Chain A
Amino acid sequence: KNEVEQSPQNLTAQEGEFITINCSYSVGISALHWLQQHPGGGIVSLFMLSSGKKKHGRLIATINIQEKHSSLHITASHPRDSAVYICAVSPPRTSGSRLTFGEGTQLTVNP
């Protein structure tokens, strides 16, 4: 079982739909990251969370530390949101420094 698991693996939506991508983790963390990877490979950091909720434009990220779960929401989705969304966790400050990534969610938004 992976330490970081995302669902769904693939998601197809129509333009305008509300989208949710989930991330569950089984290890202690100091922070969780949501990343976006476009075709061609470039990766952009969307959010870093250690508690609560963050919002940036149409993107919202939440984290529940007790349940070890985070969600990424996209409101009013658009075809340009089509990308792979990756969840990654940073270990606690007192332990090793390696990041752990989920396998990613491929999102396709159709016009």
Chain B
Amino acid sequence: DGGITQSPKYLFRKEGQNVTLSCEQNLNHDAMYWYRQDPGQGLRLIYYSQIVNDFQKGDIAEGYSVSREKKESFPLTVTSAQKNPTAFYLCASRRQGDTEAFFGQGTRLTVV
């Protein structure tokens, strides 16, 4: 079955460490997205990619980095420059020009 997979579901890291969140899809989707959710707030766009080897900053890209070396993978690195990294992170994907979007299950990152 096709789908979008995020791993891990829960992640704990010490302050000052970089951490990479995985997002993989086997839907042959062109566009992939990373969102962040804070308690009581809506999802905010961090980065998105519409094609391999290309990506754009979203509304809150500072302290994050991404890569899109393969169509099926869009990993997000939370760097030590991100001031408040503890949050819920959601990956999504969509075929270019298509209306339907697919969502991962999310990763809850806690930095202690």
B contacts with A, residue count (CB < 8 A) = 28
Taking CB atoms, residues of chain B closer than 8 Å to A48 are: 99-101
Chain B positions 13-49 with a Cβ under 8 Å from a chain A Cβ: 31, 33, 35, 37, 41-43, 45, 48
* A50 to B100 CA separation, bound complex (whole angstroms): 10
- The tally of CB-CB contacts under 8 A between chains A and B is 61
CA distance A50 to B101 in the complex (A): 13
A10 to chain B, nearest CB (A): 10
Q: Is the CB of B100 within 8 A of A99?
A: no
Q: Does A45 sit within 8 A of B, measured CB to CB?
A: yes
Which one of A12-20, A54-62, A68-76, A101-109 contacts B?
A: A101-109
Inter-chain contacts of B105 with A (CB < 8 A) = 41-43
Mask: chain A, 71-97; 1 = CB below 8 Å from B; 0 = not: 000000000000000101010010001
Q: A35-B103, A99-B94 are in contact. List 7 more A-B contacts (CB 8 A).
A: A30-B99, A31-B100, A41-B105, A50-B99, A88-B101, A93-B97, A103-B42
